[in-house]
Chains A and B, each alone.
Chain A
Amino acid sequence: MLTYVIRRILATIPVMAVVALFVFSLLYIAPGDPAAVIAGDQATPDDVARIRASLGLDRPFLVRFGEWSWQILHGDLGTSIFTNLPVAAMIAQRIEPTLSLMAVTLAFAVLVAVPIGVVAAWQADTLTDRAIMGFAVLGFSVPVFVIGYVLAYVFALQLDWLPVQGYTPFAEGVAPWIENLILPALALGCVYIALIARTTRAAMLEVLQQDYIRTARAKGIGQAGLLFVHALKNAAVPIVTVIGIGMALLIGGAVVTETVFAIPGIGRLTVDAILRRDYPVIQGVVLLFSFVYVVVNLVVDLTYTVLDPRIRY
């Protein structure tokens, strides 16, 4: 097991190296020029060229990539072209809101989606099942920003229960922290709930057909215990997998949710950086996202061994 973990962690290094090369190359060939954005509408071509030179953007690809890679190897993500702030500091400013949003969304989605998925499987082909699956299809189909605006209109503007926008750090109190996250987590969670609920239902339907479930029933185990202890544990592997895969969905959804609710997270940092062509920030954020995704996949794989003793690494 330990060997496997170490092997997987070491395997992230070439993955990250490929991601780094890919991102750098993509930005190099992508249209756009931060020097032209900085110079403004009234600048001369000479102004733009001098800014480009001062930023080192006129140097050959290999020189720039070599320099950036060397920085990365020393733990330095570089400095934003525009804000003149270290990329690591900008990410540090933004990581808490995004992690908070993802954590609250994940908790909310799992707490809602797994039980309703189990109930849907238990009540398969009944009105309850169809209602739950109908909700799941709706949640998956309606764009996050539409849900976000509807929630903000109802709960913030009409009822005045929750704020429209913003983020309050956890250190400033649990109540203001969660107050700002409820609506974004609800909006972002809808898609996630739909995904997990449908997977839970499918996995549970398969498990509920198994002989050991019939045996458990014959032994007189109660319905709740049967569903949530015996059946759910055996159906957990695909559910955990989809939760892990769904992290990518959450990262993508966070970009939209953070925009709609004006949350200063990594998603908005990424979009702003792309629109300005702030290369060091884009590269830093993509590397971070890639690392998070690799780690999440590793955690999911390790979770399998806990959920299913037959799986050994």
Chain B
Amino acid sequence: MDRRAFLKTAAGALAASNGFAAPAISQRAGARALRLVPFADLASLDPVWSGDYMSRNAGLLVWDTLYGVDAQLKPQRQMVESEEVSADGLAWTFRLRAGLKFHDGEPVLAKDAVASINRWAVREPMGGMIKAIENELVAVDDRTFRWVLKRPYPRMLLALGKLSPVNCFVMPARVAATDPFKQINEYIGSGPMRFVRDEWVPGSRAVFERFAAYVPRQEPASWLAGGKRIISDRVEWMIMPEPSTAAAALQSGEVDWLEYAHIDLVPVLQKNRNVVTDLRDPLGDVGMLSLNQLHPPFSDVRARRAILAAMSQDGFMHALTADDKMWKPMPSYFTPGTPLYTEEGSEILKTPRKLDTAKRLLAESGYAGEPVTCMAAQNLAMHKALGDVTVDLLQRLGVKVDFAATDWGTIVARRGQKAPPGQGGWHMYIISLSGADTTDPTTRMIRTNGDVASNGWSKSAEVEAEIASWYDAKTLEEEKAAARRLNRAAFDQVVYAPLGTLLRHKAYRNNVSGIVQGPLPFFWGVSKTA
């Protein structure tokens, strides 16, 4: 007896009641609704106010960007039709494409772009850098705006089209006038899908409908660039915190696509002939061990070097996967397989672990057996596993460990505490970022600007100088050269300890096509047959 027959039988006694109403959602959805299980919940839909990946991912459906990076990590025009930069590199003039519309039918104007840039720049480091050298940012006419700087900024297009949060989304000027530290209340988008606010159940479901008046570019879609052609009428995000439930729902056909397939469940899914599994993102997820550089022992670079000397990335990665095809060593501060990847200066990580050397370095740093507080989020499987390996590593070094296995919400608050570890502070914690976020020096994790460095308040003039030289680089070769010097300086100072790159699977029903590999689910070009 299959499900339909079972239900008919079970409902037999009740069927006289004029028949049962079909679920309204199913009636609306039909075969063209694409149901995705994203990796987390959509808690907020203001992608400028929130630096969360999920807000970014939803934002990319609802709002369009002026530029967008493609799969080769190159920024391409998106809402912009053309740009001109003056010979001295100071004046940028941007012209918007014709026919762009907001979801309320109003045209997208240059003043909207200007207001959106102004709000974004307060929350995004590159935006802040440009603002610091800005002479003026003005709308010239309905489709043209000009940004005049005091000195050249070669990374302008990357800043406007970057992949990692916070992205420069174009909103109506009245919405973009909202304080960047407060949430917007109107979700009037400029992107290919409209957010269906009245069907939003935070923690359970978010729904997007195709925006018919969206004008996609003619170029083929590639990540954030090209023609964002939405084929499905509706996209439904079904939030399922339990990976087993999500995998079962995929097998039973209740959902179409899992952004992440849990590593333990991939073999089960691969046995199902209706399910396809594939590499989610060739850039993977990068594990990091952040070290507090305000307090001993890690205020001394020798203690930080001791960690690098004692660790082996395969030990960390094997705690996450037994499949050697699903992780990459990362003796670098840049993501493997990307243009700036370099192993310059990383010998300490590439040679076999040297516990004796590490113990000596630790002793030289003045470490005398004080408890070292290591934080790891238990509610994030990757963090917990990496935390367990870190504890083992520290114990092998003879370090007394205070393992604070807590939740991520506690860690993000505690990591901002500058107090000594015994008084509410910390020594080290596990963090992971999308590999797409560590492809270049725009990530804050590599910054070493002391008091404002978000990564353990690391401080190094050498590292900062090399970051600055990358921002000033005018050619890819100059960028690569700067990245090599930066990588060497970062390893010398041990800005943080890179733990390796984990690759993961995604999974989808075999009636879905057009899904590409990438750091987030791209819906353009994805279709589903009944």
Most A C-beta atoms less than 10 A away, residue of B20, B202, B240, B407: B202
Q: Which residue of chain A has the shortest Cβ distance to B9 in the bound complex? A: A161
A40 within 8 A of B: yes
Do the beta carbons of B181 and A44 come within 8 Å of each other?
no
Given contacts A84-B185, A275-B379, contact A175 B7 (CB under 8 A): yes
A210 within 8 A of B: no
A162 within 8 A of B: yes
Given contacts A153-B248, A162-B3, A262-B249, contact A36 B412 (CB under 8 A): yes
Helix, strand, loop or mixed for chain B's interface? Answer: loop
Range of interface residues on B (Cβ < 8 Å): 35 or more
Do the beta carbons of A176 and B20 come within 8 Å of each other?
yes
A196 within 8 A of B: no
The answer, among B185, B248, B406, B409, for a CB contact under 8 Å with A165, is: B248
Within 8 A of B (CB), among A170-202: 171-176, 179
Which segment of A8-16, A128-136, A224-232, A264-272 sits at the interface? A264-272
Contacts of A37 in B (CB 8 A): 52, 408-409, 412
User: What does the 1/0 interface line of A39-56 toward B look like (CB < 8 Å)?
Assistant: 111111111101101100
Do the beta carbons of A164 and B248 come within 8 Å of each other?
yes
Given contacts A43-B454, A44-B452, contact A31 B406 (CB under 8 A): yes
Q: Which residue of chain A has the shortest Cβ distance to B164 in the bound complex? A: A42
Distance in Å: Cβ of A152 to nearest Cβ of chain B: 6
Contacts of B431 in A (CB 8 A): 41
CA distance A39 to B2 in the complex (A): 48
CA distance A174 to B12 in the complex (A): 12
B444 within 8 A of A: yes
User: What does the 1/0 interface line of A50-81 toward B look like (CB < 8 Å)?
Assistant: 11011000000000000000000000000010
Given contacts A38-B49, A42-B125, contact A259 B3 (CB under 8 A): no
Do the beta carbons of B43 and A166 come within 8 Å of each other?
no
B132 within 8 A of A: no
Q: Which residue of chain A has the shortest Cβ distance to B55 in the bound complex? A: A40
Do the beta carbons of B3 and A160 come within 8 Å of each other?
yes
CA distance A305 to B454 in the complex (A): 64
Do the beta carbons of A173 and B52 come within 8 Å of each other?
no
B517 within 8 A of A: no
B24 within 8 A of A: yes
Do the beta carbons of B164 and A38 come within 8 Å of each other?
no
CA distance A54 to B252 in the complex (A): 45
Distance in Å: Cβ of A79 to nearest Cβ of chain B: 10
User: What does the 1/0 interface line of A237-270 toward B look like (CB < 8 Å)?
Assistant: 0000000000000000000000111101000110
Range of interface residues on A (Cβ < 8 Å): 35 or more
Contacts of A54 in B (CB 8 A): 179, 181-182
Contacts of A48 in B (CB 8 A): 416
CA distance A274 to B407 in the complex (A): 10
Q: Which residue of chain A has the shortest Cβ distance to B184 in the bound complex? A: A84
The answer, among B46, B165, B182, B245, for a CB contact under 8 Å with A42, is: B165
Helix, strand, loop or mixed for chain A's interface? Answer: helix
CA distance A44 to B122 in the complex (A): 11
CA distance A39 to B123 in the complex (A): 9
Given contacts A45-B416, A164-B248, A164-B252, contact A172 B409 (CB under 8 A): no
Contacts of B181 in A (CB 8 A): 47, 50-51, 53-54
A107 within 8 A of B: no
Contacts of A259 in B (CB 8 A): 241-242, 245
Do the beta carbons of A172 and B52 come within 8 Å of each other?
no
Within 8 A of B (CB), among A82-107: 82-85, 90, 93-94
A163 within 8 A of B: yes
Contacts of A152 in B (CB 8 A): 245, 248
CA distance A269 to B201 in the complex (A): 10
Q: Which residue of chain A has the shortest Cβ distance to B125 in the bound complex? A: A42
Within 8 A of B (CB), among A276-311: 276-277
B390 within 8 A of A: no
B419 within 8 A of A: no
Do the beta carbons of B11 and A264 come within 8 Å of each other?
no
A149 within 8 A of B: yes
Q: Which residue of chain B has the shortest Cβ distance to A268 in the bound complex? A: B203
Do the beta carbons of B23 and A32 come within 8 Å of each other?
no
A21 within 8 A of B: no
Q: Which residue of chain A has the shortest Cβ distance to B379 in the bound complex? A: A275
Distance in Å: Cβ of A195 to nearest Cβ of chain B: 25
A37-B52, A40-B166 known; 18 new pairs, CB 8 Å cut-off, are A31-B406, A36-B415, A37-B408, A44-B444, A45-B452, A46-B452, A47-B181, A84-B185, A156-B248, A160-B252, A163-B252, A166-B238, A168-B23, A168-B25, A175-B10, A259-B241, A262-B241, A275-B408
| B positions within 8 Å CB-CB of A | 1-3, 6-7, 10-11, 14, 17, 20-25, 41, 43-44, 46, 49-52, 123, 125, 164-166, 179, 181-183, 185, 200-205, 238-242, 244-246, 248-249, 251-252, 254, 379, 406-410, 412-416, 431, 433, 437, 443-445, 451-452, 454
Which are the 3 A-B pairs with shortest beta-carbon distances? Answer: A40-B51, A264-B204, A33-B413
